[in-house]
Amino acid sequence: MFETLLTDVDGAVGRLTLNRPEKRNPLSTQTLTELAQAARWFDDRPEVKVVIVSGAGRAFSAGADLASFTGEPETSVRDAADRGRQMADALERMRALSIASIQGWCVGGGLVLAAACDLRIAADDARFSIPEIDLGIPLAWGGIPRLVREIGPALTKELVLTCRPFDAAEARSAGFVNRVVPAAELEATALDLARSLAAKAAHAIFSTKQHVNAVTEQMVGTMRSWSDADGLVTALGDAECAEARRAYLAARRRR
Tens digit of each residue's pLDDT (9 = 90 or more) over 21-49: 999 999 999 999 999 999 999 999 999 99
* Average pLDDT value for the chain: 94
Asked if the model's pLDDT at residue 186 lies above 90, the reply is: yes
Sequence spans of domains, the chain: 5-184
**pLDDT above 70: percentage of residues in the chain:** 97
Task: Return the higher-pLDDT residue of 98 and 228.
Answer: 98
- Helix then strand count (H, E) for the chain reads 11, 11
The predicted model gives 154-176 an average pLDDT of 98
Question: For residues 248 and 137, is the Cβ–Cβ distance under 8 A?
Answer: no
Closest CA to 51 of 208, 255, 193, 243: 193
pLDDT class of 211 with cuts at 50, 70, 90: very high
Give SS3 for 42.
helix
What pLDDT, on the 0 to 100 scale, is given for residue 254? 78
What pLDDT, on the 0 to 100 scale, is given for residue 72? 67
The predicted model gives 220-225 an average pLDDT of 72
What pLDDT, on the 0 to 100 scale, is given for residue 56? 98
Handedness of CA 181, 94, 40, 63 (dihedral sign): negative
Helix axes 202-220, 143-151, angle to 10 degrees: 110
Closest CA to 87 of 148, 163, 146, 128: 146
pLDDT class of 75 with cuts at 50, 70, 90: confident
The predicted model gives 59-77 an average pLDDT of 82
Distances 243 to 14, 184, 229 between C-alpha atoms, Å:
43, 41, 20
The predicted model gives 216-235 an average pLDDT of 82
Q: Which CATH superfamily is domain 5-184 in?
A: 2-enoyl-CoA Hydratase; Chain A, domain 1 (3.90.226.10)
